[in-house]
Amino acid sequence: MKNINPSRSAFAPFLIFCLACTVRVLYNVTVAKGYAPLFDAQNYRNIGLNMLYLHHYCPPNQQQTLGCLAGRAPLWPAIIAVLAWIFGPSTLYPRLFFCLVGSGTCTMLYFFARDLWGKRIALITGLLAAVYVGLFLYDGWLYTESLFTFLQLVFCYALFRFQCTQHYRWAVISGITIALASLTRPNGVALIVFVVVWAALLLWKHRFSRRQALTVTLVNGLLAVSLIAPWTIRNYEATHQFIPVAVGSGAVLSGSYNDTALHPNAKNDTSWMPANSPMKQSMWINLQDRGLWVSTTQTKPLLDLEHHSDTDAYRTSRAVDWIRHHLSSMPYLLSLHFVNTWIPYTSENGLPMVQFPTRISSIIVWDMLWYIYPIILLLATLGLIMTWKRWKQELLVVYLCLLLTVGLNIALYGSSRFRAPIEPFLILLTGGCIWWCKHHLLTSWRFRPGPLSQSAHSLRDEQEEIHKSEINL
């Protein structure tokens, strides 16, 4: 590997970080100016301020229900508490924190693309990520999308680096990010299973020896479990139930599987969008909210929560009963979940651009979402196809992450918001499409693969020889 001037090698990621940060700050001071947290965002903020000022996750003056005691993962409320302690309780500071997190996502994408496609394509990929609306849309919103997206990207990049270099420090980093992602959103625990499948596939393809596959799996699993365990113990002491991170699966399932989600809007209008909003006239797809999650008050048949102490278990049982009695409708409903995953936008009432729909900045972001995202999706699909033959093993973490995120969205949510964790990979695969065009169409440009991709190919040959020798022994 050639020696690289540190000042020159640091310029590109610094440029990308600054551009991404500028875009996100502008988004927060224009579209999100005056933003007020609603729904889950308000819940996260209240928990954070309760932790700071009352020193309780669930204040003693509130009813000590299971949802209050263990209804949310703790990391994001804890960050809100720290920011409020340092700067004050304004909602601006958590959103500026998300500006830094989102900029970190774009910078991490640069390093990921550099190791695969080389520095030139990486610079284009990073600059595209900095201005792509799908990567800054949630940086002005006090939900967990931005933080979880960053942590999952770091997790995948760490596994990719371990696959290419065999350095166990990357396994340690991936294990830590599994824990942080799980403490941000409960379904982050699924990343432990992700590691098992990833290591098994690389063992099957002779990229890992049995010892390497077992070691990386154990390092990730033990680190993640040990870091999550203190919160699990706290949950048991507070609720006398085994809750790894948080409850809420019942609310998700009962909101996704009911009559309202199947047939939501007979009038074919968009009730969540103000009638006088210019954004409503700019839509080129008529959203009817079919297949989307609905709140408890909107589910049909209605839930009787007052007479059940364990509301999460009750909601889960109601969802299972509904599925059992509507098996013939399940293929249609799951297909709606799949379609909604790839729609540019499905209704989210608390977003800043929906709170302030008449602002010119909101209309600009709205049109960017509907017109730029389909282009990125098309280029990413082409990049997936074009890079499959040469890079399918190096991009294994990307493929598995796409499958995991889309699979969970189909099974649980059916919303474009839960596509957020794979938005960085759409940009990365778009970079792969640009690499293919450069390599195959612009022959005057000389292709040089990324340094880690070169070492990955040499490691592959070496590991295949080691595996054969182990078999002979």
Predicted local distance difference test score (pLDDT) of residue 247: 85
Joined tokens for residue 321: 């009963």
Q: How far apart are CA 126 and CA 103, in angstroms?
A: 10
Q: Phi and psi for 362 in degrees, rounded to 5? A: -65, -40
- 393 located within any domain: yes
Residue with tokens 């709140």: 295
Joined tokens for residue 94: 């958590």
- Count structural domains, the chain: 1
How far lies 405's CA from each of 17, 133, 191, 416, 418, in Å?
A: 26, 19, 10, 11, 8
Dmax over CA atoms of the chain, in Å, equals 75
- 134 located within any domain: yes
Predicted local distance difference test score (pLDDT) of residue 110: 96
- 1 located within any domain: no
Strands (E), 90-212: none
Domain that residue 94 falls in: 6-472
Joined tokens for residue 301: 């048949």
C-alpha of 186 from chain center? 12
- 116 located within any domain: yes
- pLDDT tens across the length of the chain (473 residues): 334 444 457 899 999 999 999 999 999 999 999 898 988 899 999 999 999 998 888 776 676 777 777 888 999 999 999 999 999 999 999 999 999 999 999 999 999 999 998 899 999 999 999 999 999 999 998 999 999 999 999 999 999 999 999 899 999 999 999 999 999 999 999 999 999 999 999 999 888 999 999 999 999 999 999 999 999 999 998 888 889 998 878 888 888 888 888 876 543 444 445 555 555 554 445 456 678 888 777 778 777 766 666 677 888 888 899 999 889 989 999 998 998 899 888 877 788 888 888 889 998 998 898 889 999 999 999 999 998 888 888 899 999 999 999 999 999 888 888 999 999 999 999 999 999 888 877 654 454 555 555 555 554 555 555 444 544 44
AA letter at 232: T
Predicted local distance difference test score (pLDDT) of residue 132: 96
Joined tokens for residue 303: 């839930």
Residue with tokens 């989307």: 292
Residue with tokens 């729909």: 357
Q: What SS3 class is residue 45?
A: helix
Predicted local distance difference test score (pLDDT) of residue 451: 54
Residue with tokens 């040959």: 461
Are 67 and 247 in contact by the 8 Å Cβ rule? The answer is yes
CA angle (302, 305, 310) in 5-degree steps = 135
Q: How far apart are CA 365 and CA 263, in angstroms?
A: 30
* Eight-state DSSP code of residue 430: H
Joined tokens for residue 41: 């965002």
Q: How far apart are CA 395 and CA 428, in angstroms?
A: 10
Q: What SS3 class is residue 224?
A: helix
